[in-house]
Structure 1
Amino acid sequence: MSSSQYIDFSVRQNKAIERVLLFDGLRRLMHYHKENNYVYVGLGSVWFIDFDMAHRELGIETMISIESDEVLFRRAQFNKPYRTIEVMHGKSHDVLPELIKSRDDILSRPWVVWLDYDEVLNETKLDELSALVSSLPGNSFLLTTFCAAGHRYARPSERIDRFQELFGDAFPVERFKAAKDLKDEPKMMAALGDAVIGYLKAKSVEIARPGGFIPAFNLQYQDGTPMATTGGVLPDVDFVDAVRDEVNKADWLCLAKRPIITPPLTAKEVASLRSLLPNPSLLSRNDVRELGFDLMEDQIASFVEHYLRYPSFVQAVR
């Protein structure tokens, strides 16, 4: 059963922060492509949160959402927020090749493809991503989100073998020299994100794609299950230098070194923490205790890093 049947994806604070970072990055890179005629393709489910952001923040009008579940497909058709969203029924690995094969109206335009899976990566999903590296139009963006919990892939004794089976040399085996490393969730999340980046980059080299694949997004976050969002740009040759220069800037935040792990906070807690920010020194646990409550050090650090992006959720009716 799809997780959309039991999870409201609009009220997860770390997922919300990840979206803000991702769309900020897309906006910055799209600035170099003056003709804004992008096509947005994703898995909008019944919430269409990323589709709403693609339209509001990036100005994209042509949007395609893919839904395999029959009940959710009917609900998605009802819930789509804009007239220009087309909801297609089927598995993405079946629908996307058909779109590329038959839709001449969008093949001459760059795409933003965000395959936001809520499951682990497997051979089918990696084949799907590989095919997109080969077939997407120039200056397109390819992004994927997936479960980055190591135990969901294999038992500890078989985990490294499974990752090498999936990613080959792209998986950084050298980071897992001790058994305890396999239980380190941030390390596992980062390794899987890097593995996907390496896998897609190697695919672009294998097919000698002009412009190649430039990594631009590698974000990990956790609202319960560890997740990773990775991807990059498939630029035309004349777009390569601009993309590389942008993602190498010091203020490029989409290639993160730490996972987004802010805790769910009450409105009073958020306001109290923000009253101490911005601050040249990192807030400590004692600072929070002096406010009257408590948080773990890593939660405090993550909130400080993302406090301007931390969402506020309100109940409109009861």
Structure 2
Amino acid sequence: MGFEEGAEHMSGGAVAYHLRENKAIERNLFIEVLARVARVANVSDYTYVGFGGPFLEDFQALHSTLRISKMISIESDKNVCTRQAFNKPAAFIQIKNVTSGEFLRSHEFVDGNIVWLDYTAPKDLYVQLSEFRSLVGKLGRFDVAKITLNANPSALGGQSKGVALHEERRHELAKRLGDHCKFELNDDDVLPKNYPTTLLKAVRSCLGDLAARASGEYFQPLSAFIYKDSGHQMLTVTGVILNAKDDQDKADFLGKSRIDHWPFRNLHWSSPIEISVPALSAKERLALDNALPITDEVDAGDYLADQLGYCPSDQENIPTTKSLLANYAKFYRAYPLFSRVVL
């Protein structure tokens, strides 16, 4: 079940749609990654598979921007499937009332594929990594795979305080990862600032030996982000399938896609980039956009606060908000515009 389905347990009035800028930015950056892949392969002819949620927002975005018209939504909740059938924005979207595991066991991946496994349940981490490994093993050259994982260390539980709490959480994480953990864990790895990077290592670890297969195909990371969505810290990792036995394959892909010129790339499993921006009114956003882009030599947070003439936060949170404004300077092109529409 993806996060969209989980959000359905909240009442409509409780869902803070205006606070979902970070998730929307991450989705737009995913589209930018796919646009880079499209320079190498015709992704418009690919099949997109994902957890659509009740509104199928990702499906609509990918169809609108990349003209993908072969799409499959996986949903385990029958009621949500019924709602998807009512809300689906295009007739060609197939809605399958199955779990992700059932789908991966039965589906035959042919031609080109983009698959996004958008998980949220932290206790199912071992199964989620196992499914992602299985998926990558089934995909072919230039296919794209993406995984989203819950990156809240508090979800590891623990009753102690201080150092003892971190030790408890480390043991719990080791238990959840099982044989996917082929690297040494220490207490610092479960701290909030480090936990997303630890999960990224786990993704790499679970895929580590796939290139040794006869096909020689492997998962080449392209991006890794962390963001908070409705209070949940999430990690997303996106990559493309390349051939490890062909020394020129990676060089050709990088050259044609020019992804190594993309400022948000992650080609070497380095720490994920944090997406964290302030909630802004349309008028505030227009004022900031008029001052962008800016050079690296300028302190973006102070500069953008000066452009507004104030800091859009409470007085006590000014340093944090200036940091968010600096992030806005990085991600403003992908920042969504939410507005009220009367039908």
Shorter-chain TM-score above 0.5:
yes
Q: Give the CA deviation at 1:77.
A: 1.1
Alpha-carbon distance in 1 for matches of 2:118, 2:33 = 17
Structure 2 residue aligned with 1:305:
330
Alpha-carbon distance in 2 for matches of 1:132, 1:277 = 40
TM-score using structure 1 length? 0.85
Q: Give the CA deviation at 1:286.
A: 7.2
Q: Does 1:157 align with 2:167?
A: yes
Structure 2 residue aligned with 1:235:
242
Q: Does 1:49 align with 2:57?
A: yes
Q: Secondary structure at the match of 1:226?
A: strand
Alpha-carbon distance in 2 for matches of 1:153, 1:209 = 37
Letter in 2 for 1:230: V
Structure 2 residue aligned with 1:64:
72
Deviations 1:262-314 (A, max 9, x none): 12222233233223322221323475166123442321221111112211100
Alpha-carbon distance in 2 for matches of 1:309, 1:74 = 31
Q: Give the CA deviation at 1:144.
A: 0.8
- 1:220–1:243 CA distance, 2 compared to 1 (3 A): farther
Does the aligned pair in 1 maintain the 2:27–2:58 contact within 8 Å? yes
Structure 2 residue aligned with 1:288:
305
Does the aligned pair in 2 maintain the 1:14–1:262 contact within 8 Å? yes
The number of residues matched between the two structures is 305
Alpha-carbon distance in 2 for matches of 1:141, 1:115 = 11
Q: Does 1:249 align with 2:260?
A: yes
Q: Does 1:222 align with 2:228?
A: yes
Q: Secondary structure at the match of 1:33?
A: coil
TM-score using structure 2 length? 0.79
- 1:123–1:206 CA distance, 2 compared to 1 (3 A): farther
Between stretches 5-14 and 290-299, larger displacement belongs to 5-14
Does the aligned pair in 1 maintain the 2:117–2:148 contact within 8 Å? yes
CA-atom RMSD in angstroms: 2.7
Q: Does 1:132 align with 2:157?
A: no
Alpha-carbon distance in 1 for matches of 2:287, 2:44 = 41
Q: Secondary structure at the match of 2:217?
A: coil
Q: Does 1:146 align with 2:149?
A: yes
Structure 2 residue aligned with 1:111:
113
Does the aligned pair in 1 maintain the 2:36–2:259 contact within 8 Å? no
Does the aligned pair in 2 maintain the 1:66–1:91 contact within 8 Å? yes
- 1:113–1:194 CA distance, 2 compared to 1 (3 A): same
- 1:162–1:233 CA distance, 2 compared to 1 (3 A): farther
Structure 1 residue aligned with 2:200:
193
- 1:287–1:141 CA distance, 2 compared to 1 (3 A): closer
Alpha-carbon distance in 2 for matches of 1:284, 1:116 = 32
- 1:25–1:128 CA distance, 2 compared to 1 (3 A): same
Structure 2 residue aligned with 1:103:
none
Deviations 1:148-192 (A, max 9, x none): 11111343322223333413125x736x54xxx744x34322332
Q: Secondary structure at the match of 2:273?
A: coil
Letter in 2 for 1:91: T
Q: Secondary structure at the match of 1:307?
A: helix
- 1:252–1:299 CA distance, 2 compared to 1 (3 A): closer
